């Protein structure tokens, strides 16, 4: 895993094809080495990779470029998740992060949804899927104080888990570290990352309002009862430190992208490991000077040989999904498909709305939404002229990804929450968030109509 990350970084810095080829081999090796941890989902996805590879050879003959692009996508997704997990591991031992998490889960009933939705939305920038493993234990610890009233305990668990899930899901429409936007950004030219982020923040805030209103309406007949958990005052210092880390991360990413004349994705690839090293060393400041470096080295050892291997199943899932999306798109003549579907004569708002909706059904096949993001990104990126503004296309794809995370029982974050809380994935998505997801799609269509001026 360390070798793959290094090869991807060297390939982006030097543009030497040898590093990219070695990264592809490292990806294959990691899949082979992961046979001990594979479950039915990973076997199913890898089988799809093999079948589609054979189909591509049957339909198109041996075209190395198709396989090369598919392996490049798989290696990139695998490496980027591992690089993001470095930040997560540094944050796991941060006192300020712990204080932020406790604050979010110890709020009065009237503020709890807002705190968890907005807090999850912001903290996901650094943690990605790791946020679930941080906040879930804190939520469970908080509701245990109400175990004398089982119905109240279950009610509070539902409201807090759904708030966290929705906040996490809608982070992808604006977060610079979300995997979906990064994959799409690499595939479609002409995207304005700054404008995409601005639109995404507005979309996330609108969905927060929708989620809060749906939560209030759903539980309108529930008599509010005071929580027995201790209310924690706002930890100003902790949130300032968290904000400082974000500022350093994104500031460094922007500077590096400008210095190397590359994309913000490149800047993040380099910045994440550097920020992790600085953050870990800063956490040793409370130790005597002689003990700082040994403690720092010990944490690096733990991250390398204990924490990173825990990501083996999920990186296989992401790599396989990326491979499937890219090789599937390679077999489809993009311009012919666009003409058949009438994309060029379709109103922009309708095209964008349908693009978001199309992200959802395939997620029920057990495939990560990243597959559809890569598929649509590859198809649309191959068109000489896009049917709509590139930034809005990217926004629509990431919005569809967000809705799929509150809709599909096979979404990775849903499966993680289900395992940690012993909650059925179908209960978590269709019953707890089904109405929210339907309303979110309707609201998305309305927002795209407004943004495009109804054209």
State pLDDT tens for residues 418-432: 877 778 888 888 889
Range of the domain at 343: 2-222+235-451
Nearest to 357 by CA among 411, 413, 412, 396: 396
User: What pLDDT was estimated at residue 54?
Assistant: 94
Mean pLDDT of 376-398: 89
Asked whether residue 228 is domain-assigned, the answer is no
Asked whether residue 303 is domain-assigned, the answer is yes
User: What pLDDT was estimated at residue 225?
Assistant: 56
Total domains in the chain come to: 1
pLDDT of 227 over the 60 cut: no
Spatial distance between the Cα atoms of 406 and 430, rounded to a whole number of angstroms: 8
pLDDT of 92 over the 70 cut: yes
Asked whether residue 227 is domain-assigned, the answer is no
Asked whether residue 30 is domain-assigned, the answer is yes
How far apart, in Å, do the first and last CA atoms of the chain sit?
A: 47
pLDDT of 133 over the 70 cut: no
**Residue 203: DSSP 8-state:** H
Confidence grade of residue 143 (pLDDT, cut at 50, 70, 90): low
Alpha-helix residue ranges (DSSP H) falling in 304-368: 312-330, 334-341, 348-358
**Which of 142 and 430 is assigned the larger pLDDT?**
430
pLDDT of 15 over the 90 cut: no
Share the mean pLDDT of the chain. Answer: 85
Mean pLDDT of 351-359: 91
**Residue 308: DSSP 8-state:** G
Q: Is 116 exposed, middle or buried (0-12, 13-18, 19+ CB in 10 A)?
A: buried
Opening angle at CA 263, ends 18 and 445, nearest 5 = 125
Q: What percent of the chain has pLDDT over 70?
A: 92
Asked whether residue 229 is domain-assigned, the answer is no
What phi and psi values does residue 425 have, to the nearest 5 degrees?
Answer: -55, -35
Burial 411-430 (b: 16+ CB within 10 A, else e): bbbbbbbbebeebebeebbb
User: What pLDDT was estimated at residue 214?
Assistant: 92
Mean pLDDT of 135-161: 72
Asked whether residue 230 is domain-assigned, the answer is no
């Amino acid at each position: 895993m360390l070798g793959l990350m290094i090869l991807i970084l060297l390939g982006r810095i030097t543009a030497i094809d040898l590093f990219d080829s070695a990264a592809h081999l490292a990806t294959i090796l990691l899949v082979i080495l992961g046979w001990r941890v594979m479950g039915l989902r990973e076997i199913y996805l890898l089988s799809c990779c093999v079948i589609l590879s054979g189909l591509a050879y049957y339909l198109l003959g041996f075209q190395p470029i198709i396989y090369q692009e598919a392996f490049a996508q798989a290696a990139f997704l695998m490496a980027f998740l591992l690089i993001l997990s470095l930040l997560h591991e540094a944050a796991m031992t941060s006192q300020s992060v712990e204080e932020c998490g406790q604050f979010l889960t110890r709020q009065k009933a009237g503020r709890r949804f807002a705190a968890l939705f907005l807090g999850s939305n912001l903290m996901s920038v650094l943690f990605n899927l790791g946020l679930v493993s941080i906040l879930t234990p804190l939520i469970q610890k908080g509701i245990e104080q109400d175990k004398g009233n089982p119905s109240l305990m279950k009610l509070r668990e539902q409201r807090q888990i759904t708030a966290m899930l929705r906040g996490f899901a809608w982070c992808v429409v604006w977060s610079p570290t979300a995997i979906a936007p990064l994959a799409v950004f690499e595939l479609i030219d002409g995207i304005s990352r700054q404008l995409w982020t601005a639109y995404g923040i507005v979309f996330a805030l609108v969905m927060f309002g929708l989620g809060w209103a749906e939560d209030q309406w759903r539980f309108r007949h529930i008599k509010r009862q005071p929580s027995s958990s201790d209310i924690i005052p706002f930890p100003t210092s902790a949130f300032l430190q968290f904000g400082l880390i974000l500022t350093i991360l994104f500031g460094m990413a922007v500077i590096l992208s400008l210095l190397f004349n590359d994309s913000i994705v490149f800047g993040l690839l380099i910045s994440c490991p550097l920020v992790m090293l600085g953050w870990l060393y800063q956490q040793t400041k409370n130790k005597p000077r002689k003990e700082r470096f040994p403690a720092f080295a010990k944490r690096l050892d733990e991250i390398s040989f204990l924490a990173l291997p825990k990501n083996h199943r999920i990186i296989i899932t992401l790599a396989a999904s990326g491979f499937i999306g890219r090789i599937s798109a390679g077999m489809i003549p993009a311009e012919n498909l666009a003409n058949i579907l009438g994309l060029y004569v379709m109103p922009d708002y309708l095209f964008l709305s349908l693009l978001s909706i199309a992200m959802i059904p395939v997620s029920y096949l057990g495939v990560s939404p990243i597959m559809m993001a890569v598929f649509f990104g590859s198809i649309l990126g191959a068109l000489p002229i896009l049917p709509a503004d590139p930034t809005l296309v990217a926004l629509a794809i990431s919005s569809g990804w967000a809705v799929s995370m509150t809709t599909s029982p096979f979404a990775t974050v849903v499966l993680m929450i289900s395992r940690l809380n012993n909650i059925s994935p179908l209960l978590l998505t269709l019953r707890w968030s089904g109405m929210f997801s339907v309303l979110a799609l309707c609201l998305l269509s309305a927002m795209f109509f407004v943004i495009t001026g109804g054209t």
